[in-house]
Every structure is written in C-alpha cells, then in structure tokens.
Structure 1
C-alpha cells in the first residue's frame, strides 16, 4: 500500500462510510470508492462489508488499522503486515466443538487449517451446546460447530453437514453381519440409553415415539462416548450418533446404520454482529469437506 492508499483506508475506518471519508479528505466520493476497491483487489482480501450506507470493517481490516495508526513510523511496516494478514499470519481462531464432531470432523478441519496457515494459532475445545452460547456471546470463542440448532438473537448459524443415528454393539454380535438394523430388533437387546434430559436423549426418544415404540433400559448415560465404552465392555447395545459410532468402531465395537434413520443438521455458529475472519471462513469450508468425507465413507 502506498501513502495515498493508507490515507484513504484510514479515513474510511475513522468515518465509517465512503461519503464521510471523502468529506474528511476533501475529495470526491467516487474517487474514494475506486481507491478502496483497488486496495481490496491489490491485497486480495475483503476489508469491509457494505450495507445500509455504512461500512463494517472485517477482522483483517481492524488488524491492519492498528498498524496504520503507526504509519508515520514507517510505511514499510504497514505493507509487511498487509502481506502477513493475506496469508493468515498473526491471526487466531478459537474453536468450540460438540463432543461427537470433536472426534473426527473438527480435528480434520483444524489439521488442514494449521497446515495451510503455519503462522496462525488455533485453539480447540470440546463443549456442550448450552456452554457454547455463553462463550460465543462473551467473546471467549470465535466459532462453534454444533450438532444441535442454536436459536439466539446475538448468534448466526450456517449449516455445515448432517448426522444420523446408528446402533453400536460388541464385536461378534449378530448385528455385525447386517447392513442395517431395525428399531424393533434393537428393543430385543439389552439397551443402553441416553438420559431423557439430554439433548440427544430427547431426539432419540422422539424418534422412538414416532415409531410407536417405548424401549426400556437398565443403564442410562449422558454421552455417546460413555455409551460406546459400556457397549465395548459387553453391557449391551446402544443407539448413538453415527459420528461417535464411526470414531469408536474397532476390534471391540462395531456399528450398523438404523433402518430409515432420521437426519439432523450440524451448524457453524458465530456472533451475528461481526464478520467472520478469513481464517474462520476457511475453517468452515474445511468442516463442510470433512462432513462430506464422512458421508462418502458410509
């Protein structure tokens, strides 16, 4: 960026609109608009989101502006920072993931992101949906991958994939030879069930009722991983999400899809008031790719 571009960029950041920036610099509005578009094209990244006559700076623009304020100490420093941001350097991404997505889908996306942006820092944490909302609203995380829809006035959700239900059973079980298992067949087994007050438990119970069934269980759990651990120890069979079932499948535990299972969405959730960073957009794209890979392997 040259000195003129830096001046216009700084004016737009301060004024919040092309009209006010042009007035501040005593130049024409079209001239400022053309220069702003040229800057974004030259840098290869979006600096502002346009809407209702105002310009909302992206995280990249905010980071660049912090350096522009030091412009009189050297234009070269500004240019170096712009190139760094274009490559994702100096940025961080704090990721929350539902337990089932944290087993394979999100780790795949994080691994790919870290390889593509070696100077960026990524923090990943497994979290329940009710905790995700608070951390996002308090700016303690940048993005969450949730296996349940989140309806909150301050948050925005984007579909990134889907999951379904599967039956998990111990190695050598008769279900191992089956391509799918019917609900009535599951009822005939010793069933390990989710507690009714858990989100997944409510979803599964609703599906049982839709099929006119009311299974009884001796053991209840609050997570798919706990259910799989019990199944692997011979405690019975369980109905869990297919993401957890795939991650646990091995010598001690097998799984089979349920016949005509329901499908549920997974979502990327962020603050509605702030544009996503380039790093976050790339991460979402990689999560979508990881879900597609899981589906293709089914």
Structure 2
C-alpha cells in the first residue's frame, strides 16, 4: 500500500499500472465507511501476493486528483491497468464483494506463473536453446491455457521446428472460437502453405516453372495462388504478397477471397506483437484526467515495409 499525491501519481499509479493492476482508493480520515473498507483492501493486497497494488489517495489533501477522477462520494475505488481506468466501485463493499471485483481483472496465480514461463522461453530462444524454449512454452500453456501470447509463440516455434502436427493441435482451440482470432487464423494459413508444399507436386516447382505457366494465362489464379503458397512456406513473404496482389487486382472474390485473406495473414505474421506492458496510448479517465502512455510505434524498416504493403492492399481493394 502506498499513499499517492499529485507529485508521485504518475510514477506510483500510471507507470506502475503498466506492469501490475493498481487499485486506487479515494478516502478521507473523517469517513466512517472508509475506515471499514481500508483494512479489507490492505488485507487483500497482502493475500493476493503482488497481483495488484493498492494506492490510497486522501481526497481532502489531494483535491486535484479527486476532481480529475470525478470523485463525488467516498470511499470510491478505481482500478487502472496499462495506464487506463478499467473499472471501479463506490461504498464500503464486503470482503467477498471486493474479491469478486478483483478476480474479474487481476491475473490469477496460474496466469502469472505462465507469464514467467513465457518470459523464460523468450530468453532461452535468444540463447539458441529451442528445445528448452518449447518446453517452457508448453509449461506456460499448462499453467494457463488462456494465455494467447504464449500459445501463439508456441505455435510459431512448433512450425519453425517442423512439428506441424503439434502446431495444428495447438491451434485447434483458438480456431474453434467465434470469431476466430486473427493471429491464430494467420498461423493456420502459414501451416496450410507448408502442408500444400508437402502434399502437392507443385510444391517442388521452381519459380521459373510457375512463371512460365502464368505467362500463358495471366488469369490462372490456381497457379498464382500455388506459387504464393510455395513462397510463403519458404518465408519469402513479400514475394508471396506480390503474387497474391496480382490475384486481388484481377478478381478479389476468387476462391472466397483466398488471396486477400492470405495476404492479410502474412501482414499479421510480420507485425510485431504489442509490448505486454507500456503499450497504452493516451486517454482520459471518467473525471477528465489525462492518462499518458508511451507510444510504442516506432518507424523502422519493418514498419515501413508493412505500411507499404498495407497501402498496396488498400489501393487494390478501393
């Protein structure tokens, strides 16, 4: 628990919430219900073992913060995550009700353990220990099957190491959702391209063989798409998108928009995932206080490339 003032608000609430949910308790020394709620919040902060942080603001002493959040009665609690208010409650709730409120937003112990395993997997992968990284990611999913970041990393690594059957199995659950998460759909299309190369004789064709057949018929979309899949399976992403764009320009509806969907999948696969923390943009609380987070978008060659191919797709579709 920490007492928050205007001076330390940015560091102790906004910045801290980029890493851990922060529950802000607006109270005052004269407030009877505040004296009931306060000990409950402090007890739960200890019991939750760092899964959330409690910040207390004396609304009499810090009227600027209270006004900024639009506080009209106390106690009022507001939960912030990634620099933004996400939920809150007013009044001295019973301990069970506060637990229910927290459990809607605060990560479980299993989720935190999974996150730690995923972080370790990233370090192992950077060191070149792919096998250990796969094991860590599998442990992360066992701890928290709902960790989509870990699942996506796991599937990517399985595909990269040729464990295609395991990758397909790991994709089964997210692809059963409605709507399908775009990133998992993209991974499935990458896997489809690899499987195409393995089962279809055209998977062994040279680029020259594809181009000769396409030259004889510019609208031979089957051959164009097969070429795009072969290029995608080899990781020749831009060359694959160039071929898909030729189909889109001539007949965007062909084969249930397979070319557009595959093009979008490649863009998704090439887009770096957002940072797990610190990627929030700017916004305001209900009371009007400006909440700022670091803009994670950085112009680099990869970003410029993706922007270029997004513009190409937009122009082809419009």
TM-score (norm 1): 0.26
Greater helix share, structure number: 2
TM-score, reference length from structure 2? 0.25
More strand per residue: 1
